[in-house]
């Protein structure tokens, strides 16, 4: 029985440049199959006793559950924030062929499937 499952790892960055650098590194290392970078996020939060407002970039990292700790560690190591948001979220259902692609792309050596990244 295959107990492998997909997860999203969610985080935010202070700039598009930092998010793209981190996202590309995660994909190159095959820690995830894909990252979605969403600029234009407005965040309100408490930090060091003050209410803050920040303009951020959100990132959704698509990976397998078995890699979530490695992804979290890599995000933290590359991140400029002292305390980055790193949230691992289980996925209830994944379309079968997409899941097969995600698994193949997060395997060392990957599947080298052409054209798949454009289908995100």
Question: Which two three-digit tokens encode residue 106?
Answer: 């997060």
d(CA 6, CA 66): 9
Q: What distances in angstroms separate CA 16 from CA 41, 96, 105, one per listed residue?
A: 11, 31, 24
Structural domains of the chain sorted by starting position, each given as residue range(s) with its CATH number in brackets: 6-111 (3.30.70.120)
Rounded to two decimals, what is the model's pTM? 0.88
Across residues 32-50, what is the average pLDDT? 97
Q: Is the pLDDT of residue 82 over 70?
A: yes
Across residues 99-120, what is the average pLDDT? 70
């Amino acid at each position: 029985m295959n107990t492998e499952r997909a997860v999203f790892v969610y985080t935010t960055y202070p700039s598009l440049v930092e998010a793209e650098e981190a996202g590309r590194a995660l994909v190159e290392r095959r820690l995830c199959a894909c990252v979605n970078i969403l600029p234009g996020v407005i965040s309100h939060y408490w930090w060091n006793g003050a209410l803050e407002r920040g303009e951020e970039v959100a990132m959704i990292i698509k990976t397998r559950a078995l890699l979530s700790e490695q992804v979290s560690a890599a995000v933290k190591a590359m991140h400029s924030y002292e305390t980055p948001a790193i949230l691992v979220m289980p996925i209830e259902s994944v379309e079968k062929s997409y899941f097969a692609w995600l698994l193949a792309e997060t395997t060392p050596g990957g599947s080298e499937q052409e054209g798949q990244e454009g289908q995100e």
